[in-house]
Amino acid sequence: MKNCYFFILMIFFISCAKKENSLVYQNPNSSDIKLVMNSALSHSEIEIPSHIEGNQIHYTIDKNAFITLKDGDLEIEFFATPSGSSEIIREENNQFVFKGDLGNYNQSVFNIQAKFDHFLENNVLRNTQKEELEEKISQLKSDLIKEIPTDITQQQQLEIKEMIALDAAFLHIKHAIQTGYGRQKDYSIPEQYDIQNFNIDILEKLYDENFNYLSYYIPNYLNLMFLNDEIYQLAGEFYFDLRTDEFQNLDIEPRLKEMFIASTIAESINTQGLKDNNEASLYQFLHDYPDYSHKEELIATLKNNSTMKDGNVAPIIHAFDANGEIFHLKNHEGKVVYINVWATWNENFNQQIKDIKALKSKYEGQDIEIISLSVDRDQQHWKDYIDYSGEIKNNIWTSKVDQFYSNYKVYTVPRFILIDKNGKLINSFAPAPDSKELDDLIAEAL
């Protein structure tokens, strides 16, 4: 695990408008400074666009999140809310002081996580006996809990205690895997280390906010769950599929089930590559959990392991227009193309069509084609709508729905695709027609 320093950066909302965050960082260790967010689904990093002016780092986030300030080989993780400012001072021996609102809270979280990292650095888990480690974990938890100040809110104290519980649980689980005693038939995860016994509300909050240690704890916890099950260990390439099915059938807290399945699918794709089985599992998950907090990270996992990557030539679309003429995507080269994937069976399609009409009106006369592609399996349903609405121009239907779904990785509708003037994908999971994000992408493409 990376050695990270932690603190909590609390920022007040000045207004409802989205504003830049400003972080004053005193006495940097190097000129190599950037901000990243740790993925909730893997150990990868998501870089946060930022710019530096003197000792100020300006950046923008759209949700509460744990962010890592990377200064050379130093990593300082902090919590930020959209908009606001704070200050970090690096002192000698890489000690850090946090000023501003809730300074005591910020400092306590930093101190606690720094002590945990120190413990991890100075204890080789593989060479430590089980009983000895349990004693050390118990003492470490006791020491860390004493670091929690009393002049912060009760909720903040509870969140820090949950972080400490995660730290302790990670040590036990990592040790059980490294030493192999987790393979013993009679092994089961002790209650105090089992995520199913944690405070689910706090856990969900930390998960939604990309708390770093959860991205390590959850995959290790899930691997340990099946470490002593011979059937799973002999499953080979079907191991993750069995796990996904198992979680679907488990009678557990729905929010935990969502985390478990997402983590399993992501780990399957990252370790085995994109295959028919895990791709199908991913589509099913996105369909079953449309409001999943890290949906964009899952989609990025799909893109990164797929031949359909942004910047590649857009796959051929086999379709017909309302006059029965064959649709050719290449005929639209020289213009930006925005494709609205829809179907009459989608309960929200009327609103979707209204948004598309508004988008066409907004960009009328510009070098952009806005095309509606129906994936109705019964062509007559599409024709009936065309006759009823009179929406004939740039309204097409594909007779090869499954091929289109496969080529463009479509798992549900609505879906939007943005293609540049050279026929290359700008964003295969483009923003909705009524979003500012889409306007920004179109402006750049035009």
Three-class SS state of 14 = coil
How many CB atoms within 10 Å of residue 215? 19
Q: Which of 86, 121, 156 is a domain's end point?
A: 121
Please indicate, yes or no, whether residues 326 and 299 belong to a single structural domain of this protein.
no
The angle at the Cα of 258, spanning 255 to 263, to the nearest 5 degrees, equals: 130
Residue 191 included in any domain: no
Residue keyed to tokens 């009760």: 154
pLDDT on residue 193: 95
Residue 423 included in any domain: yes
Order of all β-strands in the sheet with 84-90: 50-53, 56-59, 21-26, 84-90, 96-99
Three-class SS state of 415 = strand
Q: How far apart are CA 337 and CA 425, in angstroms?
A: 9
pLDDT on residue 286: 86
First-last CA distance in the chain: 44
Q: Which residue has the higher pLDDT, 137 or 306?
A: 137
pLDDT on residue 13: 34
3-state helix, strand, coil split of the chain in percent (to 5) is 45, 20, 35
pLDDT at 270 over 70: yes
Please indicate, yes or no, whether residues 296 and 348 belong to a single structural domain of this protein.
no
Please indicate, yes or no, whether residues 284 and 367 belong to a single structural domain of this protein.
no
pLDDT on residue 199: 96
pLDDT on residue 101: 67
Residue 34 included in any domain: yes
pLDDT on residue 15: 38
pLDDT at 6 over 50: no
pLDDT at 322 over 60: yes
Q: How far apart are CA 167 and CA 206, in angstroms?
A: 13
What average pLDDT score do residues 414-435 get?
Answer: 91
What average pLDDT score do residues 237-258 get?
Answer: 90
What average pLDDT score do residues 46-66 get?
Answer: 91
pLDDT at 17 over 60: no
pLDDT on residue 418: 95
Residue 269 included in any domain: yes
What average pLDDT score do residues 178-207 get?
Answer: 93
Q: Which of 249, 272, 306 is a domain's end point?
A: 306
What average pLDDT score do residues 281-295 get?
Answer: 89
Residue 26 included in any domain: yes
Please indicate, yes or no, whether residues 17 and 93 belong to a single structural domain of this protein.
yes
pLDDT on residue 7: 42
Query: What is the domain extent for residue 60?
Result: 5-121
Please indicate, yes or no, whether residues 328 and 441 belong to a single structural domain of this protein.
yes
HSE, CB side, 13 Å, CA atoms: give it for residue 116. 30
SS (H, E, C) 27-92: CCCCCCEEEEEECCCCCCEEEECEEEECCEEEECCCCCEEEEEEECCEEEEEEECCCEEEEEEECH
pLDDT in tens, 336-345: 999 999 888 8
Return the CATH number at 416. Answer: 3.40.30.10
Please indicate, yes or no, whether residues 344 and 289 belong to a single structural domain of this protein.
no
pLDDT on residue 386: 85
Please indicate, yes or no, whether residues 351 and 260 belong to a single structural domain of this protein.
no
Residue 283 included in any domain: yes
What average pLDDT score do residues 248-260 get?
Answer: 93
What average pLDDT score do residues 322-343 get?
Answer: 90
pTM, full prediction: 0.76
Q: How many domains does the chain have?
A: 3
Find, among 338, 249, 256, 264, the residue nearest to 301 by Cα.
264
Q: Which residue has the higher pLDDT, 207 or 16?
A: 207
pLDDT on residue 228: 83
Please indicate, yes or no, whether residues 299 and 345 belong to a single structural domain of this protein.
no
pLDDT on residue 19: 65
* Average pLDDT score, the chain: 87
Please indicate, yes or no, whether residues 102 and 80 belong to a single structural domain of this protein.
yes
Q: Which of 91, 121, 151 is a domain's end point?
A: 121
Residue 131 included in any domain: no
Please indicate, yes or no, whether residues 70 and 34 belong to a single structural domain of this protein.
yes
For 91-161, list the strands marked E by DSSP: 96-99
pLDDT in tens, 353-377: 889 999 999 999 999 999 999 988 8
pLDDT on residue 14: 33
Please indicate, yes or no, whether residues 329 and 429 belong to a single structural domain of this protein.
yes
pLDDT on residue 12: 33
Please indicate, yes or no, whether residues 60 and 89 belong to a single structural domain of this protein.
yes
pLDDT on residue 126: 87
Contact 423, 314 (CB under 8 A): yes
Residue 104 included in any domain: yes
Structure tokens at 363: 């960009």
